[in-house]
Amino acid sequence: MEYWEEINKKLKPWIDTDLNKTVVDLFAGCGGLSLGFEANGFKTIGYEMDEQATNTYNKNLIGECFNEKLTVETIYPKADIVIGGPPCQPFSVGGKQLGLKDSRDGFPIFLSAIRQLDPEVLLFENVRGMLYKNKWYLKEVIEELESLGYYINYALLNAVNFEVPQNRERVIVIGSKQKINLPRKINRKVTAGQALGELAFQYGEDSKFFTESMDRYVANYEKASKCINPRDLYLDRPARTLTCRNLAGATGDMHRVRLKDGRRRRITVREAARLQSFPDWFEFSGTETHQYNQIGNAVAPNFAYHLALNIKRYLMDEVENHYTITENEQLNLFENEAVYQSR
């Protein structure tokens, strides 16, 4: 079975009546994180302020997503698990890293939901920039969650280690009333070529080929960036990180594929979706730019699947596959801010 066929079959929403657990997804985007949970049988309820992302969620998932701008006063329905990706612009390595001073900070909202719902398990993801200038803020968030009675684990995980054909590092924080560990890495790397299949060699009238001026622009960008190799999509390895910027914008680091005749073109929405591990049946709403942005902002669904599976095993007392952090690793974690386990 080809990789994309496996994803199409594996990432299908369903409800596990034996599990019977409801998840509230804050800042849900187009539903990448929720899809991973629904593919494990969880019920989901989403909240997202972007209208087109909300439409995408509701078009593809069983659960309902509300098009709403969240505040610390928002009232939520009863839920067993709270997940989400609070806006990462305040902490992005590519941004200004203003942290608490950034009006886009979503963590006060996330924490207010935890206080209100008192879930069995919580999980949030964010960019690796949280471990840089604003690592103090992550510690404050963790201390607040610990004061609410949660054991906390966090790690800088790469989605490429969880069967996603892309290098995509994210800070994952998980909390529970009893200790829950992080999921094990999967001993399998998926290449861009395995994800795209024949799509990588196809093109149509609407394909966006590089012009001579664009080739020069990209060459100058790569020279200034001291790139050893062109930043094309190499089919024999996982892709580099997909972002809104390098998908939706005609920038020097845009994702592009080189055809057999030497021409280069930007990757399509469907190709970007496959590299982010979205199944082919998943349809995106809005303009092409809207769709690229939804993909670039999403949690890779297959990564989310493994995070959700880890939580499901915990809830069903199937803990043998959990990854336990050793004491020596904990010491290293505090030094490099890569991984942390409370208590």
CA distance 234 to 151: 41
CA distance 67 to 327: 44
Reduced to 3 states (helix: H, G, I; strand: E, B; else coil), residue 182 is strand
Handedness of CA 102, 106, 109, 110 (dihedral sign): negative
DSSP label at 226?
A: T
DSSP label at 74?
A: -
CA distance 229 to 227: 5
Q: In whole angstroms, how far apart are CA 17 and each of 14, 20, 40, 41, 42?
A: 9, 5, 11, 8, 9
- The reply to whether 88 belongs to the active site is yes
CA distance 98 to 105: 9
Residues 6+ apart with CB under 8 A from 187: none
240 in Cβ contact with 164 (< 8 Å): no
Q: Of these residues, 30, 88, 227, 244, which one is catalytic?
A: 88
Letter string b/e over residues 214-250, b meaning 16 or more CB atoms within 10 A of that residue's CB? beeebeeebeeeeeeeebebbbeebbbbbbeebbbee
Reduced to 3 states (helix: H, G, I; strand: E, B; else coil), residue 117 is helix
Catalytically annotated residues = 88
